[in-house]
Amino acid sequence: MQIEKRLEELGIELPPPATPAGNYVTTVQTGNLIFTSGHGPGGGEGKLYKGQVGTDLTAEEGYQSARQVGLCLISTLKNALGDLDRIKRIVKVVGFVNSAPTFTEQPAVVNGASDLFGEVFGDKGKHARSAVGMVQLPGGIPAEVELVVEIEG
């Protein structure tokens, strides 16, 4: 339970795992890969933000929101796997940022999730990534993130 211990050392308490808001599942496993559905922020640390980054929110507030999304993703993975130590590597992160038309700092926002994965999983948290701007996201959330994760056994 190394990852559980690491979460405890960091003072991180995971929110409850996400539940689907429609006709889909939160994770799909094929072979040794798990694909997550897109997640939004769902509690955990700090304030829950709503709004568009660059209009209603700063890049830092967007970063904090993306970090909350990362916590939700870890919670979903724990629920799906039972043991976070089964994670061999976070392979790919795709981050969507609810962005004002002139906002161009999407990578800085998605760093909120990426930095969290590095803190929690160390080298296993290093990943390929895309960070893109969107005109809007469901419910007015500032960030949505999805993952591809390689697992052991």
Q: What is the pLDDT of residues 7-16, one digit of tens each?
A: 999 999 999 9
pLDDT digits (tens, 9 = 90+) for 101-145: 999 999 999 999 999 999 999 999 999 999 999 999 999 999 999
Give the per-residue pLDDT at 42.
80
The Cα 153–Cα 148 span in angstroms is 16
> Within 10 A of 41 (CB to CB), how many other CB atoms are there?
28
As given in the structure block, the two tokens for residue 102 are 């002139």
CA atoms of 152 and 8, how far apart (whole Å): 22
Residue type, position 61, single letter: E
Percentage of the residues of the chain whose pLDDT score is greater than 70 = 97
Token pair for 66: 């993306």
pTM: 0.95
Cα distance between residue 19 and residue 6, in whole Å: 25
- Phi, psi angle pair for 5, to nearest 5°: -65, -40
Question: Residue 109 gets which letter from DSSP?
Answer: H
User: How high does pLDDT run on average in the chain?
Assistant: 95
pLDDT value of position 44: 59
